[in-house]
Amino acid sequence: NAGVTQTPKFQVLKTGQSMTLQCAQDMNHNSMYWYRQDPGMGLRLIYYSASEGTTDKGEVPNGYNVSRLNKREFSLRLESAAPSQTSVYFCASRRGQGGELFFGEGSRLTVL
């Protein structure tokens, strides 16, 4: 019973490097989300996808891009990593608006 799976769990990057965080859900959910969690700031929405083929900006989208590859997968890309992007990133999914939200275990990213 996998739920929401994120890879990698840990990553260290140098400033300017690029990387992609992968997320997959096996619950046949329509909506998928990427959040970042920082001490004192709480959870902030980066991007979301309400359905396959659509993506929308959240509260803090600058420096990130996303791809809803298919109904199961939603990836987050950092094109040129900055130290300010050091954070814990969470992927989440749910059936649709108003539904219960399910989270992955998180990806801990450090940018040096």
Partner 1 sequence: KQEVTQIPAALSVPEGENLVLNCSFTDSAIYNLQWFRQDPGKGLTSLLLIQSSQREQTSGRLNASLDKSSGRSTLYIAASQPGDSATYLCAVEGGSEKLVFGKGTKLTVNP
Q: By C-beta, is 18 or 110 nearer to partner 1?
A: 110
Q: Is 43 in the site for partner 1 (CB under 8 A)?
A: yes
Q: Between 14 and 28, whose beta carbon lies closer to partner 1? A: 28
Give the C-alpha separation, 70 to 112, whole Å.
32
Which DSSP string do the residues of the chain spell out, in sequence order? ---EEEE-SEEEE-TT--EEEEEEESS--SEEEEEEEETTTEEEEEEEESSTT--EE-S--TTEEEEE-SSSBEEEEESS--GGG-EEEEEEEESSTTSPPEE---EEEEE-
Tell whether residue 4 is a contact of partner 1 (CB under 8 A). Answer: yes
Site for partner 1 (CB under 8 A): how many residues? 24
Binding residue (CB under 8 A) for partner 1 from 23, 36, 93, 104: 104
Among 34, 48, 64, 74, binds partner 1 (CB under 8 A): 48
Q: According to the binding rule CB under 8 A, does residue 19 interact with partner 1?
A: no
Interface with partner 1 (CB under 8 A): 4, 31, 40-43, 45, 48, 50, 56, 58-59, 90, 92, 97-106
